[in-house]
Amino acid sequence: MEDGAIADGKTDNCKVFENVFNKACQSEGKNIVLIPQGTYMLRPIVLKGPCKGQVEFQIIGTLQTPTDKTSTINVDHWITFQYIDQLILSAVVENWMAKSLRFDFVTNSKITSLTSINSKNAHMNLFGSKGIEFHYIHIIAPEDSPNTDGIHIGSSSNIEITDSTIATGDDCVSMSPGSKNINIRNVTCGLGHGISVGSLGGGPNEEDVSGLTVTNCTFIGTQNGLRVKTWAKPYPGNVFNLTFEDIIMENVNNPIIIDQQYCPSRKCEKGDSQVQIHDVKYRNIRGTSSSKLAVAFDCSKSKPREKIELDEINLSYHGVEGPVASSCVNAKGIANGLQQPNLAYSTSSCSTLLEIKKN
């Protein structure tokens, strides 16, 4: 880092970072911004393209937010990257303490080996972006910290998240309207609310959510595992082509859950969600549930969930209330192979709504 950056953890280096980025951004070819050893304090900053060439941030030192709360009040970001193609953001080792990173209209980029601790809001927020890869990400926040999603995706496509650990107070990875072709692989979610699609149907003209694949992931002590949530409101939407495969649950409260009566407060009105959910596959989901109800489909009466596939589900419960159970409301599909919980002994009509096939 050039131009007078001071690594004392107290001095604001915003202007220096902005100047160095602009110099790299306006140069053709590949340009590297090196952040050396030391602790650099930054107040909220926006680094904006488009750039004439590729910009790569190589991070050896540590970046941190100011300690005074007045610097970040009413600010939903810390570092924002906008309108940049082929951005590379990487740490030599996983020791960069980032908070509230935004990627707005960023394309064809790679984010690797970053650590984010105790963000004010979502640790990493994507909007209007395409073709971004996240690898070896480490995200930490207290279990009781609200709205601290690990990676939040909206109106973005072709996003890949792999080989990462996320332990936070809210969703591990969340996908809001417009999330398309999202691939999540080899991610461990500890604490928090698991991987969530939604909440959806909260307003008019929402984009569809489609093409989500979650494979080889582990959930440890989370409130939810694989969740789709929609509001019971009169706004239409579509969620389709979701695949959850080779998933391990360890002491998860709601391993598999569809909630079309999502209501985080007591003031919500009950009704029929107008979001249509279809073509959802659960394959080889195994492990333990911390509640008796391990599979719960609470779907809309007017928009029943179509084309569900349950294939090799093996979830156990070790409590004192009896065997693990499932519940199905307005859900249609098929069940193949092992089914534990046993759909024939569900708390509602899973065995009649789902066609049970034997191998």
- The answer to whether residue 49 sits within a structural domain is no
Position 95 scores a pLDDT of 55
Reported as a single tens digit per residue, the pLDDT across 197-225 is 988 998 999 999 999 999 999 999 999 99
CB crowding 191-216: b at 16 or more within 10 Å, else e = bbbbbbbbbbbbeeebebbbbbbbbe
**Cα–Cα distance, 23 to 158 (Å, whole number):** 29
Phi, psi angles (nearest 5°) of residue 148 = -105, 50
User: Which is higher by pLDDT, 273 or 219?
Assistant: 219
**Cα–Cα distance, 274 to 234 (Å, whole number):** 6
Q: How confident is the model at residue 88 (pLDDT cuts 50, 70, 90)?
A: very high
Q: How confident is the model at residue 94 (pLDDT cuts 50, 70, 90)?
A: low
> Is the pLDDT assigned to residue 147 strictly greater than 70?
yes
Cross-strand bridge partners of residue 218 = 188, 248
> Is the pLDDT assigned to residue 2 strictly greater than 60?
no
Position 345 scores a pLDDT of 62
Position 238 scores a pLDDT of 94
Domain that holds residue 145: 81-357
Residue with tokens 């924002």: 80
- The answer to whether residue 16 sits within a structural domain is no
> Is the pLDDT assigned to residue 288 strictly greater than 60?
yes
Mean pLDDT, the chain, whole residue set: 89
Indicate which residue of 77, 193, 278, 318 is catalytic.
Answer: 193
Lowest mean pLDDT among 96-110, 250-264, 344-358: 344-358
> Is the pLDDT assigned to residue 278 strictly greater than 80?
yes
Position 300 scores a pLDDT of 85
Distances (CA, A) of 164 to 30, 112, 170, 186: 27, 10, 16, 7
Helix (H) or strand (E) holding 58: strand 54-59
Lowest mean pLDDT among 16-20, 116-120, 207-211, 253-257: 116-120
- The answer to whether residue 155 sits within a structural domain is yes
> Is the pLDDT assigned to residue 127 strictly greater than 80?
yes
Q: How confident is the model at residue 357 (pLDDT cuts 50, 70, 90)?
A: low
Give one DSSP letter per residue of 45-109, joined into a string. EEEE---SSEEEEEE-SEEE--SSGGGTTT---SEEEES-BS-EEEESSS--EE-SEEEES-EEE
Q: Which range scores top for mean pLDDT: 13-22, 70-79, 85-94? A: 13-22
Residue with tokens 């495969």: 245
- Kindly give the residue spans of alpha helices, DSSP state H, lying in the chain: 14-25, 350-353
**Cα–Cα distance, 134 to 163 (Å, whole number):** 9
Helix (H, G, I), strand (E, B) or coil at 243: strand
Q: How confident is the model at residue 263 (pLDDT cuts 50, 70, 90)?
A: confident
Helix (H, G, I), strand (E, B) or coil at 42: coil
> Is the pLDDT assigned to residue 359 strictly greater than 60?
no
CATH number at residue 249: 2.160.20.10
User: Which is higher by pLDDT, 259 or 319?
Assistant: 259
Position 215 scores a pLDDT of 98
**Cα–Cα distance, 220 to 308 (Å, whole number):** 25
193 carries an active-site annotation: yes
Domain count, the chain: 1
- The answer to whether residue 66 sits within a structural domain is no
- The answer to whether residue 217 sits within a structural domain is yes
User: Which is higher by pLDDT, 188 or 233?
Assistant: 188
- The answer to whether residue 298 sits within a structural domain is yes
Determine contact, residues 158/133, Cβ cutoff 8 Å.
no
**Cα–Cα distance, 155 to 133 (Å, whole number):** 16
**Cα–Cα distance, 2 to 57 (Å, whole number):** 13
Lowest mean pLDDT among 79-83, 158-162, 201-205: 201-205
- The answer to whether residue 21 sits within a structural domain is no
Helix (H, G, I), strand (E, B) or coil at 316: strand
- The answer to whether residue 198 sits within a structural domain is yes
